[in-house]
Amino acid sequence: MARNMTLKANVPTPGPAPANVIPLRASFLPRHREYLMRWLDAGACMGLCDADVSSRSEDGPIEHVLVWVRENADPAYLLRPEGMNWVLIDNLRDHRLGTFHRFEAALYAIRPVLACGATAAA
């Protein structure tokens, strides 16, 4: 028994449904800014000069933190969120130095001027 089958041309096959997945990303909180300022003040005697917090837009998520040390005119370190971690990069050599679960731990890796657990309450 033969059946007549007609093929439909150019019929899109259903693909995967769009996912409502929101990637987790570390956020730069007010307590991070406060800790960064305290860390810079405490580290001035160890060569810390300045830091710049850059965001995509005025109210957007943080892109990166640049840290200057007295030995170089260019920013020496770049710190950026990656997922729920903070990545520390030697900005002069473009070399990844490490991944840290806490922002404070990444700063401690640059210069251990404050106790690693000395975080201000949010």
pLDDT value at residue 115: 79
Share of the chain above pLDDT 70, in %: 67
Higher pLDDT, 7 or 75: 75
Assign 3-class secondary structure to 72-115: CCCCCEEEEEECCEEEEEECCCCEEEEEECCHHHHHHHHCCCCC
pLDDT value at residue 14: 63
pLDDT value at residue 122: 40
Tell me the whole-structure pTM to 2 decimals: 0.71
